[in-house]
Amino acid sequence: MITRRSVQWVLPVMIATLVILFLAALSLGDVQVTMADMIAVLTGQETGLKRLVLLSWRLPQTLCAIIIGAALALAGAIFQTLTRNPLGSPDVIGFSTGAYTGALMSLLFFGGGYAALAAGAVGGGLITAIVVTLLAYRGGLDGFRLVIVGIGISALLTSLNGYLLLTARVEVARAASVWGIGSLSGLRWEQAAPTAVLLIVAIAAVLPMTRSMHQFELGDTLAIGTGVALERLRWGMVLGGVVLVALATAVTGPIAFVALAAPQIARRITGAGQTQPLTVMLTGSIVLLASDLIAMHAIPGIQLPVGVLTVCVGGVYLVWLLISETRKKA
């Protein structure tokens, strides 16, 4: 349930911000596209270069940024709720790294292709989630233990990824390294359309389970007392969260820290003590789309992968979050 504060002004402001960013993403670039040009394209009056730039190049990239940002943010909210820890994001606990490992193996050994990358990413993410959960499970799933085990598994997988890249053919390793930074550049409808459809389906499947996220935040005992089938729902949410991360990773590579930061930013914006999936997803879309705009246009003549920017900003945020959590426990 959305808080009253969100209904009054937060949601409209967030939606308006997303619309402004969406229009800016369609407009900015070497080929300037004005609102008049957009209307001309939509009405069929413009059939030249601007139509190609708008519909074939910028629109799929922008829509993917919105949908992937929402998916990563929702996945982050799921894992932070399950672990009851703001560090319990798929970036930190290794699930994103596992998805990248699976997709990387698919790229190196089976030649890539979206279907193969998606299958490899989902498989790698699920295997990592199972291993981390089993190693962290001791008569229950402790959030702090899950984070610590996840960090260790993530470090091992990062080493494995480095080894795979070192032993691969030069041209394949170069392509995999660029893809591994995390980038939305160059997305076309061939990649964007199946990604958008699959992520929308996955989000629709996960959202009903998030209705019980508030009970999870109250603790296992109270959650069971309110009728939640705790273990079944927990594994369902783990599966849903991993699928969201893996599908996003398969098309863009691993984009770090959106899943970590977006749920916490959404909480602070709304002033809600509980996770609100809608505001979390809007925050994720805004964060990723704004980051992509800055990465593409901040330095004239240079287009950075969005993953470079999110790593820089997210690293600072992670340090701040670690300091804040340490002070709370002190």
Tell me how far apart the alpha carbons of residues 322 and 258 are, in angstroms, rounded to a whole number.
Answer: 16
Burial class of residue 156 (count of CB atoms within 10 Å of its CB; 0-12, 13-18, 19+): middle
- Report how far apart, in Å, the C-alpha atoms of 143 and of each of 14, 36, 119, 133, 284 are: 31, 52, 28, 10, 23
What is the per-residue pLDDT across 267-312, written as a single tens digit (0 to 9) for each?
888 776 667 888 999 999 999 999 999 988 877 777 888 888 888 7
Mean pLDDT of 158-164: 90
**Position 254 confidence tier, pLDDT thresholds 50, 70, 90:** confident
**pLDDT given for residue 229 in this prediction:** 63
**Residue 64 corresponds to which tokens in the numbers above?**
């993917």
**Residue 323 corresponds to which tokens in the numbers above?**
């300091």
Q: Which value, to the nearest 10 degrees, does the dihedral of the CA atoms of residues 260, 264, 266, 268 take?
A: -160
Work out the number of other CB atoms within 10 angstroms of the CB of residue 105: 19
Mean pLDDT of 227-253: 82
**pLDDT given for residue 139 in this prediction:** 66
Could you tell me if 286 and 72 are in contact, meaning their C-beta atoms sit under 8 angstroms apart?
A: no
Tell me how far apart the alpha carbons of residues 236 and 131 are, in angstroms, rounded to a whole number.
Answer: 16
Tell me how far apart the alpha carbons of residues 270 and 276 are, in angstroms, rounded to a whole number.
Answer: 9
What is the per-residue pLDDT across 12-65, written as a single tens digit (0 to 9) for each?
899 999 999 999 999 988 888 888 888 888 888 877 888 888 888 899 999 999
Tell me: pLDDT of 265 over 50. Answer: yes
Tell me: pLDDT of 71 over 80. Answer: yes
**Residue 191 corresponds to which tokens in the numbers above?**
């990649």
In CATH, what number does 4-329 get? Answer: 1.10.3470.10
Q: Over the chain, what is the mean pLDDT? A: 83
Mean pLDDT of 69-78: 94
**Position 88 confidence tier, pLDDT thresholds 50, 70, 90:** confident
Mean pLDDT of 167-195: 82
| Residues with Cβ within 8 Å of residue 160, at least 6 apart in sequence | 101
Query: Which range is least confidently modeled, 159-163, 182-186, 193-197?
Result: 182-186
**Position 1 confidence tier, pLDDT thresholds 50, 70, 90:** very low
Tell me: pLDDT of 171 over 50. Answer: yes
- Among candidates 145, 180, 144, 130, which has minimal Cα distance to 160? 180
What is the per-residue pLDDT across 220-236, written as a single tens digit (0 to 9) for each?
666 666 566 667 777 88
Mean pLDDT of 129-141: 80
Instruction: Show the DSSP H helices in 91-184 as ranges.
Output: 95-110, 114-136, 143-167, 170-181
Could you tell me if 157 and 98 are in contact, meaning their C-beta atoms sit under 8 angstroms apart?
A: yes
